Chain A
Amino acid sequence: MKNSKSKLIALLTIVTVISLQACKPKNVGSAVNADAASKTYVAPGKYDEFYNFVSGGFSGQMSVYGLPSGRLLKVVPIFSVDPEKGYGYSEETKPMLNTSNGFVPWDDQHHLDLSQTNGEIDGRWIFANANNTPRVARVSLNTFRTAEIIELPNSAGNHSSPFITENTEYVIAGTRFSVPPDNANGDVPINSYRKNFKGSISFISVDKESGKMDIAFQLRCPAVDFDLSHSGKGKSHGWFFFSCYNTEQANTLLEVNASQRDKDFIMAVNWKKAEEYLKAGKGKKEAVRYAHNVYDEKTHTATSEIKTEVTVLDVSDLKDICYFIPCPKSPHGCDVDPTGEYIVGSGKLAALIPVFSFDKIQKAIAAKDFIGDYEGIPVIKYESALYGEVKKPGLGPLHTEFDGRGNAITTMFVSSEIVRWNIKDLKIIDRQPTFYSPGHLCIPGGDSKKPNGKYVIVYNKITKDRYLPTGPELSQSAQLFDITGDKMQLILDFPTIGEPHYAQAVSADLIKNNSVKFFKIDENNNAFVSKGEGATKVVRTGNRIDVYMTAIRSHLTPDNIEGVKIGDEVYFHVTNLEQDWDVPHGFAIKGALTGELLIMPGETQTLKWTPLKPGMYPFYCTDFCSALHQEMQGYIRISTADSKVPLLFSTGKNMPVADTSFSK
């Protein structure tokens, strides 16, 4: 009996093998046993091939991984304070998190987009959105630090953001939550949504040289939820595409009430036309308040400016800027293929993936092939814009990236898989389980004109059982698939920071050689710099004490400070005098109600400290910098408010005095 069973299994195995051979995979190597470990192994001391920039979701930060190893290289603070790096704690960085609401220490960071030139990644900057208090940040890829943050007026839930145009002319930010405009009275009944609420889309211009951002104009749109977006490219350069849900305009229980219509919309925006209207003076200036924060690499200091005006183009009046295209069932991802011809809308409740044709959209607009209008905006006939539908792709299609070989890969949230399909014939080529509900996915350059179809990284929302248990919350996983063969092959899982949403990846060659190693001390224009130990001092101005301090292996100057009293506010301005790569010094003082400073070579950073009771307070270097790092310490003596102790400071001079009472 046992023997016959074995024979049966053997027979079935043969049938399986034969049937597989009948399928004739083009690349046999991908269908046979492969050593996944060797594909992800990057030897100690060797660089990874790609940088992977991963949004941090509710951590507010961006993490940087190497691929294919999945090694975490850095966490870059953007929208949340980071006591580890002093970000949002040092006087120099506090202005970065200023908003029209005041200092906001946290946000929800969803999407990233690398700057592009001619539709290809140029390796200069990466843009990040803040979803909660709407902002867009620009991160320098020379320093891997946040260079600029701009707040967005008239917006809420800055979700379809920050996606760039083909030459980074603009960063585009669409509002997920429509709200009454800032200059209107927002104190209205919530169920007056249809009457009082509006959607806003911000076009943030980016200076070609400096990268400096400015809100060029906003489009005033009907109140719906703008979910995601992507730029046209190539033939569709000049256009932008947004997915819209809640076209029911529900203001409560959206779970049910925003799923009523069979079709919501993709909104096609002719932004070149918007520019024409802007030039022709059709924009209306509105009074608003928003913060614009810039970090200066020479002063090592951020400044925050509150701006008070924005130019608005109303798309119901200026009819030929926006067009709606019906798209089934609450579309989420809105992705444009490398040629710019195909626009993929992923209706997360739909049983198919519609692919729209840019050429057909243009023809339909020219022929006014509309089925009516929605809130004053023409609605193109679905069939007239449609290239075709991917039938039965899986359950819960969310996001699509492109492999550069004529295929698209889409994540299926509900059926927990990724599905690769051909853009031309819309046939499914391969599907692979991701085991846990995938959200976004990323192919290096996957939203550019030139994808590098070596890998797809899939970011999963749920990771039950994927790693050793760590209590109720588990780190969300990224999954690396080799997509060079006919079959996508899972080769690595790695944990992420916060919640990864959209991510970007790029060949390391484009970035690694531009990395700054230190800041030149000669070019340090910080108002409180000490360019050498001779320049250190402690200055009293009323009850403000400015400590001009330096750090160099392995001492702080000054390291003995006396004559500071209760009621004083002490500012430690610490300049790192090192001119050597990877030698930051840290600075911390006992009892400080704040973070540390982490000062890069050549940089000055300031920690404000208000002593609360008299006593002796040690301070020290927190970043192990040398064999005598432990010696890099000092004291500040705090005296009572009425003390007559004179202000003294020194390093290496404050020696013990002959003390007669001691010798007794």
Chain B
Amino acid sequence: MVVAVAEESRGADHARPWIEEAKSGYWQLIDTEHRLSDLYNLVNVPQAVWIDEQGRIVRPPETAGSTDHFRRMDLKTRTMSPEDQAERLAARQAYLDAVRAWVTTGKHALPADAARAALPKVTPEIAEARARFRLGVWLRDDGRTVEGDRQMNTASGLHPESWSMWRQAADLDEVGKASGPDFWKRVQALGDRPYYPPPKL
């Protein structure tokens, strides 16, 4: 069973066009407060967690099929080289194949020790960032835009690894801003660090 969760503070109607286009038979949930990111310590989308029949996590949060090839795209034309496009599709396919193999044979499920070791740790700074983000979303929704933004900016400062917090705040400010010039500056500032760490399959 697939459970798709939209980390979408603008709400269901904003997510609906994508959901309708997906024509999915699985759950399409709307998470305006990024509650899932809080519970599972997520930092970006798409990320996935694999859960077995007993409700146990067998693969902790990891990048779900996306790659860093977009970082080399031509920003004027917004296109990637044919080689990068092919590699990107191959990586996505490899991840989907791994998910299918797990469903049919159990392959790629991690033993408990390995799964535990791969969990990202929640720090007090991350915990505070989540609370500020939550309050920020609420304040914005209540019409207190400036104060809400301030809380969300502080949250991003406390948890700079969270792209979801930063990009959601940018999107609430203005649709499109989450992939605007400031986003690219942040991506460039990563240097050699990945934006989408590849899953260790």
Q: Do A and B come from one complex?
A: no
